[in-house]
């Protein structure tokens, strides 16, 4: 049985966000931002409409996922060295000797261990699968691959069934 593939790589599949990586044993990068570009590939057999996945439904679902990240500070909830404290209207966080206090409305807490491109790709892929399923567009035998680029020539991908 053949496997088919679609690919979505459009100029509007982007989001801008700030983040930092917790590096090495003690350090954290400085808070900085990227204009991330996202590419979606879907693999699987054809459905009853002879499509792997409806292009428009996939694009709209992905744009919904990306909109939740756009113009936010991305914070990993699961990093063992990052201390997060939710206050009334702000989030206080610390890592080693560094600390920040940020408006809660400007942040997006993510259930990941760090905000690397690899883990952002996995997060987006899982959220996209959930969004498609909720919209009745999820299917068995469908594999999604999300590639996240944070700059020219720098990208990472995650592929999930």
Reference 4, options 42, 59, 58, 57; nearest CA is 42
- At 23, which CATH number? 3.30.479.10
Q: What is the pLDDT of residue 19?
A: 95
Phi-psi region of 105 (alpha: psi -120 to 50; beta: other; left: phi over 0): alpha
- Tokens coding 61: 């679902």
The domain of 99 spans 4-160
pLDDT digits (tens, 9 = 90+) for 36-46: 999 999 999 99
Q: pLDDT for 79-135, tens place per residue?
A: 998 999 999 999 999 988 889 999 999 999 999 999 999 999 999 999 999 999 887
Say what the pTM is.
Answer: 0.93
**Mean pLDDT computed over every residue of the chain:** 92
- The number of domains in the chain is 1
pLDDT tens digit string along 148-158? Answer: 999 889 999 99
In this structure, the strands spanning 107-110 and 72-76 are parallel
Distance CA 85, CA 148 (A): 28
More confident residue, 126 or 47: 126
Question: From CA 52, how far away is CA 81, in angstroms rounded?
Answer: 41
Q: What percent of the chain has pLDDT over 90?
A: 77
């Amino acid at each position: 049985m053949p496997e088919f593939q679609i690919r979505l790589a459009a100029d509007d599949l982007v989001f801008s966000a700030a983040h930092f990586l917790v590096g090495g044993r003690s350090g954290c990068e400085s808070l900085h931002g990227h204009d991330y570009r996202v590419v979606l590939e879907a693999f699987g057999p054809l459905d009853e409409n002879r499509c792997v996945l409806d292009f428009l439904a996939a694009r709209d679902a992905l744009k919904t996922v990306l909109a939740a990240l756009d113009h936010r500070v991305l914070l990993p909830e699961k990093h063992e060295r990052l201390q997060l404290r939710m206050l009334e209207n702000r989030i206080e966080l610390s890592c080693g000797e560094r600390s920040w206090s940020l408006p809660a409305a400007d942040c997006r807490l993510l259930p990941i261990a760090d905000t690397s491109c690899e883990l952002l790709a996995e997060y987006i892929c899982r959220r996209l699968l959930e969004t498609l399923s909720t919209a009745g567009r999820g299917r068995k035998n469908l594999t999604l691959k999300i590639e996240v680029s944070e700059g020219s020539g720098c990208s990472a991908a995650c592929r999930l069934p």
